[in-house]
């Protein structure tokens, strides 16, 4: 009996345990189903506040700077060409590419033998012409003397004729003597005419000799010039370029030997747009003498020179746009013709403009300004100039306003922001740039701590580190910005 009683009691306990196990499983299953069927309550929506960098718009007078690219040229350049053919017999020691020469230096000497012979022949012809002229002058003097003698003889014959005529009228002379006197007077007059003709011939010979002297002088000058052309002399102090000549070489007429460039008279030629060119004109439409700064970038150093705008090209150029402007340079050590340089031109001063970062100007021609309630508002502006990474703008009421330095697609009119000013505290919040420490108000600190504690997806180690940083007197601005942008909306 006792065995049976114990067996029944054991079966009872086993049933009780099984029932309890089934009840526990039912409870767990129900809890899981309830957990899965319940929706997670979304956190109350919060307005997202962005931290933005702002700059204060300050109206002032600015001298805009026009940036262009140009090429260095020499205002004084000479091509050295052979004016006569022949063999090069002499070369100056500095006649090489990059050689510096002085004015008056004999650079190249072409064999002058033929030119000297031609010059001697021309000098001899000149002497013959001069001798012939002297002979013609003597002939004229003799012809004048003979004409004077013939005229005297004709006068005597005429008086003798008159005397015979008077004797014949008085009946003392004879008719034959009168006729003989008349014939002698006619012969004397004929002799005068012959002498005059001889004088005319002598004078014509003088004219011919003068013409011959002119021709001989021209031939002499040509011969002298041909001799001078065998010598190529430096016209000014300069540097030789593009040298293609050696001693002993045969050169032809008009063959280019080298270029002589004056390195002390440099200018820069650069092209600008028509709009930029219009800014460099005065009220009369004349190009102003704007100062320019020229820079030649080099590895580890930069060559610089200053100058002034002097003129522009007479034509735009076929297939080109804008205007070509020339600026004369002052002392430009290290610059060479052909250098590609950066040119900065000072434009006329503009008044009442604000200088802002270029990223602050949107495609709609407006900037975002911070309002009194720290909400953004679009402010239309007029773009005056672009200056590298900055812009010069003008707009009514922009003076003293805080402008967003960098616009992003997340920012727009009506967005609430926390202004960050470089080098200072955030307006109304005591906040500075993202990389600096800022002071927090009690309400703001409590709100940030609540956001961190309410984030169940954040690892505990990260949460503890952020809470410890928020408990400090000053908190990193980057941490505040991270919490507000990622958890606050």
Q: Are 415 and 375 in contact (CB under 8 A)?
A: yes
Among 33-47, 128-142, 215-229, the least confident range: 33-47
Mean of pLDDT over the chain: 82
Q: Of 214-223, 238-247, 416-425, give the range with the top mean pLDDT.
A: 214-223
CA distance 88 to 249: 6
Indicate the helix (H) or strand (E) that contains 366. strand 366-370
Measured between its terminal Cα atoms, the distance across the chain in Å is 77
CA distance 415 to 373: 10
pLDDT for 111-170, tens place per residue? 998 888 998 999 998 998 888 888 888 888 888 888 888 888 878 777 777 777 777 777
pLDDT for 301-331, tens place per residue? 678 899 999 998 888 777 788 889 999 998 8
Picking from 130, 128, 80, the residue whose alpha carbon sits closest to that of residue 108 is 80
Domains of the chain: 51-58+350-487 (2.40.420.20), 79-109+233-260 (2.40.50.100), 113-228 (1.10.287.620), 261-346 (no CATH)
Global pTM reads: 0.58
Q: Which residue is it, tokens 């580890």?
A: 300
Q: Which residue is it, tokens 């005591």?
A: 430
The set of residues, in sequence order, having a beta carbon less than 8 Å from that of 8 and lying 6+ positions away, is: none
CA distance 482 to 450: 14
* Residue 134 C-alpha from the chain's centroid: 66
CA distance 450 to 463: 11
Q: Which residue is it, tokens 């030629």?
A: 269
CA distance 229 to 221: 12
For residues 157 and 70, the model is more confident at 70
304 has which bridge partners?
295
How many Cβ atoms from other residues are within 10 Å of residue 443's Cβ?
Answer: 8
Among 131-140, 274-283, 313-322, 429-438, the least confident range: 429-438
For residues 483 and 210, the model is more confident at 210
DSSP state of 183: H
How many Cβ atoms from other residues are within 10 Å of residue 482's Cβ?
Answer: 15
């Amino acid at each position: 009996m006792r065995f049976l009683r114990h067996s029944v009691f054991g079966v009872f306990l086993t049933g009780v345990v099984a029932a309890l196990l089934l009840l526990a499983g039912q409870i767990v299953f129900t809890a899981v189903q309830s957990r899965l069927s319940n929706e997670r309550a979304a956190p109350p929506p919060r307005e997202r506040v962005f931290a933005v960098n702002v700059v204060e718009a300050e109206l002032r007078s600015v001298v805009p700077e026009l940036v262009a690219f140009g090429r260095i040229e020499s205002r004084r350049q000479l091509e050295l060409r052979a004016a006569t053919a022949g063999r090069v017999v002499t070369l100056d020691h500095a006649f090489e590419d990059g050689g510096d020469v002085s004015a008056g230096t004999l650079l190249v000497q072409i064999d002058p033998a033929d030119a000297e012979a031609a010059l001697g022949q021309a000098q001899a012809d000149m002497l013959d012409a001069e001798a012939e002229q002297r002979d013609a002058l003597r002939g004229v003097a003799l012809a004048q003397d003979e004409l004077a003698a013939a005229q005297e003889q004709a006068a005597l014959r005429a008086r003798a004729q008159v005397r015979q005529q008077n004797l014949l009228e008085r009946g003392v002379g004879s008719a034959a003597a009168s006729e003989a006197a008349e014939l002698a007077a006619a012969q004397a007059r004929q002799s005068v005419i012959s002498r005059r003709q001889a004088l005319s011939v002598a004078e014509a010979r003088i004219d011919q000799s003068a013409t011959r002297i002119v021709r001989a002088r021209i031939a002499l000058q040509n011969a002298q010039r041909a001799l001078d052309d065998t010598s190529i002399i430096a016209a000014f102090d300069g540097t030789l370029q593009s040298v293609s000549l050696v001693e002993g070489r045969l050169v032809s007429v008009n063959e280019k030997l080298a270029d002589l460039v004056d390195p002390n008279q440099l200018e820069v030629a650069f092209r600008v747009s028509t709009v930029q060119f219009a800014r460099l004109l005065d009220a009369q439409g004349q190009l102003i003498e704007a100062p320019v700064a020229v820079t030649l970038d080099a590895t580890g150093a930069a060559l610089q020179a200053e100058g002034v705008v002097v003129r522009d090209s007479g034509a735009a150029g076929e297939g080109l746009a804008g205007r070509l402007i020339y600026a004369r340079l002052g002392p430009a050590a290290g610059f060479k013709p052909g250098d590609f340089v950066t040119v900065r031109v000072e434009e006329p001063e503009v008044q009442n403009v604000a200088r802002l970062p270029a990223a602050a100007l949107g495609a709609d021609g407006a900037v975002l300004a911070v309002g009194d309630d720290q909400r953004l508002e679009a402010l239309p502006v007029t773009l005056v100039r672009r200056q590298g990474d900055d812009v010069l703008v003008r707009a009514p009421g922009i003076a003293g306003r805080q402008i967003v330095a960098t616009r992003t697609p997340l920012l727009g009119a009506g967005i609430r922001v926390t202004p960050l000013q470089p080098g200072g505290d955030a307006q109304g919040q005591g906040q500075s740039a993202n990389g600096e420490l800022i002071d927090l108000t009690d309400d703001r600190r409590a709100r940030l701590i609540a956001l961190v504690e309410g984030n169940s997806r954040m690892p505990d180690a990260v949460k503890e580190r952020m809470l410890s940083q928020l408990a400090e007197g000053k908190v990193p601005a980057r941490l505040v910005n991270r919490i507000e942008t990622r958890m606050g909306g």
